[in-house]
Structure 1
Amino acid sequence: MLALIYVVCILLGAGLLMLPVSNTNGIAWADALFTSTSAVTVTGLVVVDTGSAFTHFGQGVIAFLIQMGGLGLMTFAVLVLSALGIPIGMPQRLILREDLNQTKIGNLTTLVWIILRIAILCEALGVLVLSFVFVPEFGLWEGLWQAVFHSVSAFNNAGFALFPDSLSRWVANPVVNVVIPAMFILGGIGFIVVGDLWQKRSWRRLTLHSKLMLSGTAVLILWSWVMFALLEWTNPGTLGGLQDTGARLWASWFQAVTPRTAGFNTLDTGAMRDSTTLMTMTLMLVGGGSTSTAGGIKVTTLIVLVMATLAFFKRRSSLHAFGRSLGLDEVMKVMALTTISLLLVLSGLFIMSITHDGEIFDLAFEVTSAFGTVGLSRGATAELDGIGRAMIIVIMFLGRVGPLTIGFFLATQSVPRVRYPAGQVYLG
């Protein structure tokens, strides 16, 4: 049901983008479908320039699809039902639970309203601050629209921009380099974490999930910021082409945090060194947090995998962090999620490599970006044929709906009638 809801929304969005009022010079159905899928899955990969190929109405449709996909389609359904006074039944709660990646159904309605309040507040503040950058340059109404569109795109980690070079013209602008990352970091750490911070306002009182998410995000941001600067400082195509140290530090900061499924860029991604590209792909695969607008396998999944590895070498049967313990169920869940994710990425890359004889590194980058719903590109997306674009659409869809959701859909929950004696398998 959840997958069907997303499919219907994508098809409706593609139909709206095909209307003459939505585009400037006409658009092919395949391009409209790709753009709609990229918007609903908050990916940001494009095959046509969003700013020139679509009118303000079409851009508004894209922004609406981004908002729907980022906050969750079932979130909007619950808001509509609540506004009409219709009670939320158990089937709707079960679908909402999968859409929000939750394990319980008791507090889902409260969580939906927390998500709505956080989204409205963050996007309104983003529009207010970004208008000081866009209005002086583009005029009042056009500048306000630029601020609204990029605020929605940033908070929902979509990466859609109205300029062919994304945000490269503001590579050294402090406002853009602070506001845009702040919005997609807030949207990417998860609504549960933001709500927990708002309610508790004390590190000791935070839940284990919030502590793991915040500490893991801080470590990943700091590590990627330093590594990007070290790897690209002398590259004339990226940091080496900037004039002063301040601009290089701002660009390093932006490019270090944007692979966490944000998708904006202030430097030419295709000019990055291979080592930096590989690091970026790793960050795209990890993604952001659960119950967020971000994709990927999630930061907490990476942390639990590392904790499980350390526990294995220490001969421990349970995981410990911040005075709490995690059992085998959590380890099995993250192992299943990681396995499905890697198989999906590798399968997509294999299929695309059959029909495309181009640089395998560029194809791998596009596939990873699609799965992590990031939107960063090395220029290969626009050159893909029909099979390649169809593959990217499928990967974007699966990356947004969630590998575990697909796994739960395919799995049969039944109690085994037969138990077998224990066996032994030699590993390693």
Structure 2
Amino acid sequence: MALPYTKRGVTHLPPPLVLVLLYFVLILIGAIALKVPFATAIPITWSEAIFTATSALTVTGLIVLDTSADFNLFGQIVIICLIQLGGLGLMTFAVLILSMLGLPVGFTQNLYLREDLNQTSASDLFSLTKMILRVVLLCEIVGAALLALVFIPEFGWREGIWQSFFHSISAFNNAGFSLFPDSLSHWVGNPVVNIIVPLLFIIGGLGFTVVSDIWRIHNWRQFSLHTKLMLVGTIVLLIWSTLTFAAMEWTNPATLGGLDWATKLWASWFQAASTRTAGFNTVDIGGMTDSTTLMFMLLMVIGAGSSSTGGGIKVTTFIVLVLATLAFFKRRPTVDIFGRRISADQVMKVLALVMVTLSLILTSLFAMLIFHEGAFLDLAFEAISAFGTVGLSRGVTDQFDPIGRIIMIFIMFIGRVGPLTIGFLLAAQKPKRISYPTGTIYLG
């Protein structure tokens, strides 16, 4: 990444810094829009407005206010617009606007778009952007139409249509915002809700490059290595987490214990699909056992796919970490999978990402424990949920004082912008002029 330089009096900022500034400015605009009197049903503080705007733009879903009761229609529209911008990607949205206006997309904009989409090349990004728009519109419209089959009969045409679109957009963008105080718990056994909503956030969480491969190729052998790893990893995680959640919560009266067996299966599937990215729930998250809570924390750290609407360290990062560990124990000098070799620099990137992630989570949790009283497990769960931009909560988010909210805002912001983006922004690239001899250290 090139350092900032000045040309003709104009400072050219590196793409990571531009994205950070864009998110920061849009959060402020969103907070101002939410703070106006006609956006809320009750007066709200600046900390509540900034927290809500950050949670929406970072597609997290943690709330300190009741989205349905405390925000009127205008406030809800602001929230859903922030969710759409955050999920689609700010530069992706900007390039779409420029193209619709017939304005050219220059090299600099392509660099910013590449950074926003987490791509390694700036070539053919415009085609990817147009495909993203088609997929987003198709999924959200179809999802809203199907959810309307549930919401319109129960709430009427006007309210039912709005709730259908709101939850479809929130689900596809893995935001977790809901217009119901108990999320989607009222429909814990409803097949339509339990199929459509998870499908929306699974597609959104796969990543736009994976969706692009599936859209264009339709052939497993021709899929890229990234697509293969994402599809296999997602399926394995879904099956494992569904079965594990069902086994550990089957008799828990606070979650699955009082449900019939079919509803228990629906609830297990929904929670397993939602945990890594989405933030919706159909059972009481605060009522889960400690073992299930720990499993959820692991899944939230793993997160969704690269260049997706979800957060976390990403599924492919976790897979490469596992493959590198297995390769070490098998005394293999390289990491190979699906007939392809994962380069050493990608393995180094994985190690850096995991280390930065653990450092951010532990530092933030340490700060929360200092400034906010609460159970360790609850605070750790909230911190990891914020970093993974998941939005699941054990019911303590609205209890944070202003300092606690600032810490949570920081975690959500870093979780969406990306730990490596911050790392690349802070790291100075200096060419090495001296090569040192290899040394030996003792590990383990």
1:408 aligns with 2:385: no
Alpha-carbon distance in 2 for matches of 1:88, 1:414: 31
Pick which of 416-425 and 209-218 moved more.
416-425
Secondary structure (helix, strand or coil) at the match of 2:221 reads: coil
Corresponding residue for residue 399 of structure 2: 383
Compare 103-112 and 45-54 and name the one that shifted more. 103-112
Q: Deviations over 1:298-325 (max 9, x none)?
A: 0000000011011111222211111111
Partner amino acid for 2:198? P
The one-letter code of the counterpart of 2:19 is: L
| 1:17 matched to 2:49 | no
Whether 1:3 aligns to 2:3 is: no
Deviation of residue 355 (structure 1)? 1.4
Q: Which residue of 2 aligns with 1:37?
A: 54
Counterpart selection for 1:145 from 162, 185, 188: 162
Q: Distance in 2 between matches of 1:413 and 1:11?
A: 32
| 1:295 matched to 2:314 | no
**Percent of aligned pairs with the same amino acid:** 61
1:310 aligns with 2:341: no
Aligned to 1:275: 291
Q: Which residue of 1 aligns with 2:376?
A: 360
| Cα distance in 2 for residues equivalent to 1:199 and 1:73 | 24
Secondary structure of 2:52's counterpart equals helix
- SS, match of residue 238 in structure 1: coil
Stretch moving more, 95-104 or 262-271: 95-104
Task: Report the Cα offset of residue 258 of structure 1.
Answer: 0.7
TM-score with structure 1 setting the length: 0.99
Match of 2:10 in 1: none
Shift of residue 57, structure 1, vs aligned partner: 1.1
1:308-347 mapped onto 2 (5 Å cutoff) = 308-347=324-363
Partner Cα separation in structure 1 for residue 196 and residue 138 of structure 2: 14
Matches of 2:429 and 2:111, distance apart in 1: 15
Does residue 190 of structure 2 align to residue 176 of structure 1? no
Q: 1:384 corresponds to which letter in structure 2?
A: F
Structure 2 residue 82 is the aligned partner of structure 1 residue 65: yes
CA RMSD between the two structures: 0.8
Deviation at 1:84, TM superposition (A): 2.2
Q: Given the alignment of the two structures, is residue 220 of structure 1 paired with residue 237 of structure 2, yes or no?
A: yes
Q: Distance in 2 between matches of 1:367 and 1:90?
A: 38
Q: CA deviation at 1:417?
A: 1.9
1:200: Cα distance to partner? 1.2
* Structure 1 equivalent of residue 14 of structure 2: none
Question: What whole-Å deviation, never above 9, does each CA across 1:195-218 have from its counterpart, x for those lacking one?
Answer: 111211121121111110000000
What code does the residue aligned with 2:304 have?
A: G
Which one of the candidate residues 141, 152, 165 is aligned to 1:124? 141
Q: Distance in 2 between matches of 1:367 and 1:107?
A: 37
Q: Deviations over 1:267-298 (max 9, x none)?
A: 00000000000000000000000111000000
After superposition, what is the alpha-carbon deviation per residue over 1:147-173, rounded to whole angstroms, capped at 9, x for unaligned?
000000000000000011000000000
Tell whether 2:102 aligns with 1:74: no
The match for 1:90 among 82, 96, 107 is 107
Partner of 1:115: 132
Code of the aligned partner of 1:290: S
In structure 1, the residue matched to 2:202 is 185
Deviation sequence 1:212-262 (CA, Å, 0-9, x none): 0000000000000000000000000000022x1101110011111111110
CA distance in 1, matches of 2:422, 2:367: 20
Measure, in 2, the Cα distance between the counterparts of 1:275 and 1:184.
25
- Match of residue 209, structure 1, among 189, 213, 226: 226
Pair 1:417 & 2:433 matched: yes
Which residue in 1 is equivalent to 2:73?
Answer: 56
The count of aligned residue pairs is 427
The Cα shift of 1:95 comes to 1.6
Give the whole-Å Cα distance in 2 for the aligned partners of 1:416 and 1:83: 45
Output the CA distance in 2 between the equivalents of 1:108 and 1:339: 30
Could you list the runs of 5+ residues in structure 1 that have no partner in the other structure?
none
Compute the displacement of 1:85 (Å): 2.3
Shift in Å, 1:98: 1.3
Provide the secondary structure at the position in 1 that maps to 2:37. coil
SS of 2:222's partner is coil
Question: Once the 2 structures are TM-superposed, how far is the Cα of residue 331 of structure 1 from its aligned partner?
Answer: 0.2
Measure the CA separation in 1 of the matches of 2:397 and 2:127. Answer: 40
Provide the rounded CA distance (Å) in 2 between the counterparts of 1:199 and 1:261: 25
- The one-letter code sitting in structure 2 at the alignment partner of 1:253 is W
What SS does the aligned partner of 2:341 have? strand
Partners in 2 of 1:338 and 1:160 — Cα distance?
28
Q: Quote the offset at 1:421 in angstroms.
A: 2.2
What one-letter code is carried by the residue in structure 1 that aligns with 2:413?
F
User: Alignment partner of 1:325: what SS?
Assistant: strand
Task: Give TM-score scaled by structure 2 length.
Answer: 0.95
Structure 2 residue runs of 5 or longer lacking an equivalent are 1-17
Deviates more, 1:18-27 or 1:135-144: 18-27
- Offset of residue 87 of structure 1: 1.9
The answer to whether 1:237 aligns with 2:254 is yes
* 1:6 counterpart letter in structure 2: Y
**2:15 counterpart residue number:** none
Give the distance between the partners of 1:414 and 1:92, measured in 2 at CA: 26
Q: CA deviation at 1:91?
A: 2.0
Shift of 1:357: 2.6
Which amino acid in 2 is paired with 1:401? V
Rounded to whole Å, the distance in 2 between the matches of 1:121 and 1:412 is 42
